[in-house]
Amino acid sequence: MSLLKEKLAGQIPGLRQDLKELGMAHGDKQISTVTVGQAYGGMRGVKGMICDTSVVEPDQGLIIRGRPILDIKDKLPEEIFWLLITGELPSDAELKSLQNEFMAAASVPGYVWDVLAAMPKESHPMTMLDTAILVMQHESKFAARYHQMAKTDYWEAALEDAIAILGTIPVIAAGLYRMRYNKGPRIEPDTALDWAANYVHMLGLQETPDCYDMMRLYLTLHSDHEGGNVSANTCHTVGSALSDPYYAVSAGLNGLAGPLHGLANQECLGFVIKIRDQFGGVPTEEQLTKACWDLLNGGQVIPGYGHAVLRVPDPRFVAFHGFGKEHCADDEIYKIVDLLFQVAPKVLTEHGKAKNPWPNVDAGSGALLYHYGLTEFPYYTVLFSVSRAMGMLSQLVINRAIGTAITRPKSVSTDWIKEFVGASGAAG
């Protein structure tokens, strides 16, 4: 038994008992109400699901298993996955065990490359990635053993699939990058490197300590963001039907590909580059202030600023910004990101319509990728996906362990809403 599986097996009986006792003692207690505006507004703010891997607090940002993200930003992504699954950071031996599991699972079936090679040459990298994950469903241990497993054992097969997906996803992501952008033949994994450094190696980027650290930071910061975001929620919903992790993660990746979710960082970087080109370099504070006002007065937004939940600067942006200040402070793109951080909140505050004038993670992440040689914007969401797979899969494994029910909220019609509102008004 792997050390991660052994650790989780020891925790599951207590988790199940806690949930049983909570349900019996407090199952009828109300934790949320829903307004008409929320029903039409994407259910934002409605407390209606459980996620124990992480929470996002409006005044603090991302907290993974009780630890603010800035406190663990220097941990390896493998350590973060262990933390997501177990609630604890791994020992050296546990970390090495997990790294060995990832490396052992890093072999991508040949048919996956055949399918990717047969796709149109101009295919979007995200289409290639989620197709590859879905094609590999043939390898699912959960699907193969479903009819022979007891419900209480679902988590074991889900964990095996999770390890297999996390072992292969950076290999696939790097391989399709080199294929899609004509970078030459695939680069084989290096067993001496950690998960993020190996990804840099297989991409063919500069293999320097700084670049390794940038990728480690990127994959750690994007790993999870509670359960209600589109990719995690989609993965959860599909997985709740007992579709195996390959189906569920592929579905989650399709959600991550949307312009309102995973594509945001490339849009933010595009804006920064447009500013650079417009002014022939780094603008003055006055020039950038005017550019921001021109955007707002034209009915547009300042890319990278504002967040559905946060009401403070995204601590993930703070981490990226600090890394850039230490490693690429003279880079033109970084300088504009830094200046925008000084200008945009003031403009948005004076404008008065933004609930949150502060930067989110996307305001800074693209600048670092660009600096280290990843200049192909459409690929950025693939990087996000490699990281967010950790969050999706950790949530899925835990949900199979505690026997989470199939997702089936009740929907109502607009006519029902109109009748209900009218009846309520009359009663008042």
Residue from 130, 161, 338, 362 carrying the catalytic annotation: 362
Of 142, 154, 225, residue with least CA distance to 391: 225
Q: What are the CA-CA distances from residue 108 to residues 111, 142, 198, 223, 391 (Å)?
A: 8, 18, 15, 22, 21
Residue from 201, 222, 236, 307 carrying the catalytic annotation: 307
| CB-based contacts of 423, cutoff 8 Å, min separation 6 | none
d(CA 331, CA 342): 17
Residue from 210, 261, 331, 351 carrying the catalytic annotation: 261
Q: Is 336 exposed, middle or buried (0-12, 13-18, 19+ CB in 10 A)?
A: buried
- In sequence order, the β-bridge partners of residue 68 are 63
| Residue 307 appears among annotated catalytic residues | yes
> Which residues are catalytic, by number?
261, 307, 362
